[in-house]
Structure 1
Amino acid sequence: MVDKNELRAAFSARLHEALDDAGVRSRGRGVDIHKRLKMVGVHKTTQAISKWLNGEAIAEADSMAALCAWLNVRREWLEYGVLPKAQEPNGKAHQLKVGDQSNVSGILERFGKVPLISWVQAGAWCEAISNFEPYQADSWLSCPVPISDSGYALKVLGDSMTNPGPGRSYPTGCIIFVDPEVEAHTGDRVIARVPRTNEVTFKVLVSDAGRQFLRPINPQYPIIDITEETHICGKVVGSFIPE
């Protein structure tokens, strides 16, 4: 399981590091951040900002994007610690300027990010990636691991992949990152579309005596036979549990 306190503390340490690199004063940092965010249309209380600096919370999407643009760091690094730290010099990440009143979501460009889609959309994605326009997605998430341009994220529903004992678990609300271009092997977590209902499911790919199955982590749920009509939509390459 992910230790949320460790994640918050690690984010705070990276935030302080970026502020140090940018020459932001040590005392009064919360006030400086508050002023900077307010100038670009992101309104956060000083109490919320103080929690970021003290390792008690992680910045939300709009604040995270604005901080990265101001401090010239990649969101993947600030949010997850994925190197490299600095933004590319070619300007892929939109730089916010003082007085810029444009929608802050404008800096949430597709740079190391994937769309968070619904399970219904995932079924269409399995059918033909080209039939779905990912830029219509309402939310984009930074992926903590390398992922192809065809990758996407899903929010886990139900408890079929929740481990009642020790070991890796994917409870309801957990975010999983799926890469359709990575070949899945026995033991991998996969997204698959099952025949007849055409529903998309999240399971573990297993083999036994020359046959393949989709197995839930929670033993209370049944194993699903893989037939010729079953379509493996992609391999789960990463996950995290939101606050």
Structure 2
Amino acid sequence: MVDKNEQRVAFSSRLHQALDEAGVRTRGRGVDVHKHLKSMGVSKTTQAISKWLNGEALAEADSMAALCSWLGVRREWLEYGVPPKGAVGENNIYRLTLDDESNVSEVSLRFGKVPLISWVRAGSWCEAISNLENYDADSWISCPVPISANGYALKVKGDSMTNPGPGRSYPAGCIIFVDPEAEAKTGDRVIARLSRTNEATFKVLVEDAGRQFLRPINPQYPIIEISEETHICGKIVGSFIPE
């Protein structure tokens, strides 16, 4: 589940960053924001704006849109920390260099919204995919990589996929994008539902002597052998660490 307090604090930090880059003064900043929004037809109290700046509340939809238009940033970045920060072109396309989770090195991508769901929900997602238009997720976020219509996002918990040394790491709080329709091969990072629980787990799919296992990146955690009751729920196609 999304930690609402963390989300509000992170939003405040990004808002201050955008205001700094826009040259808005630090002292009396709330008053300046109030005046500018009012000039755009968005009327908010200085108390409400102070809560945004102090990490106590998120801006409402109309205010968020006005802030992004004024400061020249994408709403997905300001609200959720999804890169890139700057506004994209009118066709909503930008250039993105992908990591080894993709089979392409650089492509032009369109943004698509996916639901940020719970780990319990992820365990059954691929067996009973609901109508995404009506799905009541904590939030919908932009996926900056190609993903199927049934893709979703998860917020990493714990440190089993945190690399203590060099190499790719997925620390707690990292957002991962899961495609339940992508073929998972040996070496891929996947979401799986174990036979002993309905909750999903995030591991690397590996094979040894004809047997398949789920391996954590952190060597302090055990390797799990895949049984007939283990269900691979999706492949990780992208990730980002919110600011």
Hey, what does 1:113 align to over in structure 2?
Answer: 113
Q: Distance in 1 between matches of 2:167 and 2:178?
A: 20
| Range with bigger deviation, 34-43 or 212-221 | 34-43
Question: TM-score, normalized by length of structure 1?
Answer: 0.63
Q: How does 1:53-132 map to 2 (within 5 A)?
A: 65-68=65-68, 75=75, 79-81=82-84, 85-88=88-91, 112-130=112-130
Q: Secondary structure at the match of 1:127?
A: coil
The 1-side partners of 2:181 and 2:235 are apart by 8
Matches of 2:124 and 2:117 in 1, distance apart?
A: 11
The equivalent residue for 1:147 is 147
Alignment of 1:198-213 (within 5 A): 198-213=198-213
Partners of 2:128 and 2:202 in 1: CA distance:
19
Equivalence for 1:169: 169
* Deviation, structure 1 residue 84: 8.7
Alpha carbons 1:76, 1:143 under 8 Å: kept: no
| Partner residue, 1:194 | 194
Q: 1 CA distance for matches of 2:90 and 2:32? A: 22
**How many residues end up aligned between the 2 structures?**
197
Per-residue CA deviations over 1:129-160 (Å, capped at 9, x if unaligned) read 13777631121222222222211111111111
Is the Cα–Cα contact under 8 Å of residues 72 and 86 in structure 2 kept in the other structure?
A: no
Partner in structure 1 of residue 232 of structure 2: 232
Q: CA 1:119/1:182 → structure 2, altered by over 3 Å: closer, same or farther? A: same
- Secondary structure in 2 matching 1:80: coil
The gaps in structure 2 that reach 5 residues or longer are 1-12, 93-110
1:122 deviation in Å? 0.9
Alpha-carbon offset, residue 242 of structure 1: 2.1
Q: CA deviation at 1:209?
A: 2.0
Deviation at residue 65 of structure 1 after TM alignment: 4.4
| Sequence identity percentage | 71
User: Residue type matched to 1:158 in 2?
Assistant: G
Change in CA separation of 1:153 and 1:41 when aligned onto 2, cut-off 3 Å:
farther
Q: Aligned partners of 2:148, 2:44: CA distance in 1, in Å?
A: 32
Q: Which range moves more in the overlay, 127-136 or 150-159?
A: 127-136
Please state which structure has a larger fraction of its residues in strand.
Answer: 2
Question: Could you say if the C-alpha distance between residues 189 and 69 of structure 1 is closer, same or farther in structure 2, counting changes exceeding 3 Å?
Answer: same
Q: In structure 1, how many angstroms separate the alpha carbons of the residues matched to 2:87 and 2:146? A: 12
Map of 1:137 onto structure 2: 137
SS in structure 2 of the partner of residue 166 of structure 1: coil
Deviations 1:7-42 (A, max 9, x none): x99xx79x97xx8xxxxxx788x7876545461659
